[in-house]
Chain A
Amino acid sequence: MENAGSARQYLTARDVGLVNCTTCGRVNPAGVPLCVRCGATLASRDTKSLQKVWAWWVAGVIAFVPANVYPMLKTATLGSESESTLLGGILELIHHGSFGIAAIVFFASIVIPASKFLAIAYLALGIGKQSRITTHRRHQIYEVVEFVGRWSMIDVFVVAILTALVQLGSAASIHPGIAAVSFALSVAFTMLSAQSFDARLIWDADKDHAI
């Protein structure tokens, strides 16, 4: 009978002295270096996980600074040249009345990267500690961060498409700015940071898990 209030018990691979493979799910006996099913490197818990997470995280934050400071786009129209940064491009969209698109770009290139940094830092700092936020909630944060990361690349693609398309001689031409490179790097570093995270560490602190 299901008893709603009481803690359920779950058996993990580690509890029974086995090592799971995060690539293929195969359960391996302890002491086997490579997964017998898929050949991936095994570790009951990736003890260096947090180091890798923080290393990529710092790289991502550093790359995010020039991405916001330097111009993303250089537009030349009839002799006059203008440069716009990430935020500048969004303000321009609002100015033209494209609120929906401005919202998409604002979310993809500013809100998502910034909140990803915060979310990863929060999860990494919370490892091994009991917190007021449940394990399930923290797991949800992790899943969202993993899912959403790649979508930040939108702005880099937009700049590329605009550059390829708007080459109309002296009438109008668009060229990419150096911020596109640092932005792309920042997105890639943050993705690597999230991927380095060993999600099993989040669950190890779970109170439900009693054996």
Chain B
Amino acid sequence: MKTLIAALWLSAGVVQAAEIAMSDQSQLKVPDSQATPVFVPPAESELPDNAFGQMVRQGHALFVDTRRLMPEAVGNGMNCSNCHLDQGRMAHSAPLWGAYPMYPAYRKKNDKVNTYAERIQGCFQFSMNGKPPAADSPQMTALSVYSYWLATGTRTGVETPGRGYPEVPQPKDGYDFKRGEQVYSEQCAICHGGKGEGQKVAGEYVMPPLWGRDAYNWGAGMHRINTAASFIKHNMPLGKPGSLSDQQAWDVAAWINRHERPQDPRLVEGSIEKTRVKFHANDGVNLYGQKVEGVLIGQGTGG
């Protein structure tokens, strides 16, 4: 870590030369993520009744009801709380208290040091397939304040156990779509629908879509089979985390992520192949730009 920071400092003027030396600081360090989470974020009842408390409440509202409250920023059927369970509080569900103290950090994804606000903007651009609010917008401030409050008492720059989605190692025989389809129909379809379409009540999604035009796009972290497997293993089915085997989590993650979703907004010169080479070739395990059973994956959902 120290050498990294030193390298960053030294390379401030010569970014090109340092590219290889830098790793992605926002990535989890696996050994730490195995530790038992002990951090307890503050309770709502502890919120002060003042301007700060007000801002925390606003951030909370945006976090759990994002699509409805920020229609201009969300381009699909997702809310923040769909990927960060229990209002961003739950360990191993990428809790906000785990993320906030780790920024600013260098991210390979956009090859720069990102502030926390910039990190959230990434969620809006990819996971929510939308238009990120400005870093100094009232919404972004509210979301940052909510995160800061949840992280009360953590140490900056130190991995808090429970952060992120702990990695689920790829099974030695990889993954299998057929088995994944079966896991999906038995365990997931009841909420997310047989075609990944999610479920709505009165026009609003209650259970989020997993593919199709209202799902996360091809640039979202969740499009990686390894990331989706980690999320699924530790969080799904809702209320029964850890009930799937590693193999089942990988199989079903692969099944979900072989389906079309909105195009990667970073699409390079209209070319799936160029986009694959630039953004997907070294991005975990993913199917973007590859052929599955003769069909090119990553064509997007149009519109």
Please say whether chains A and B are actual partners in one complex: no
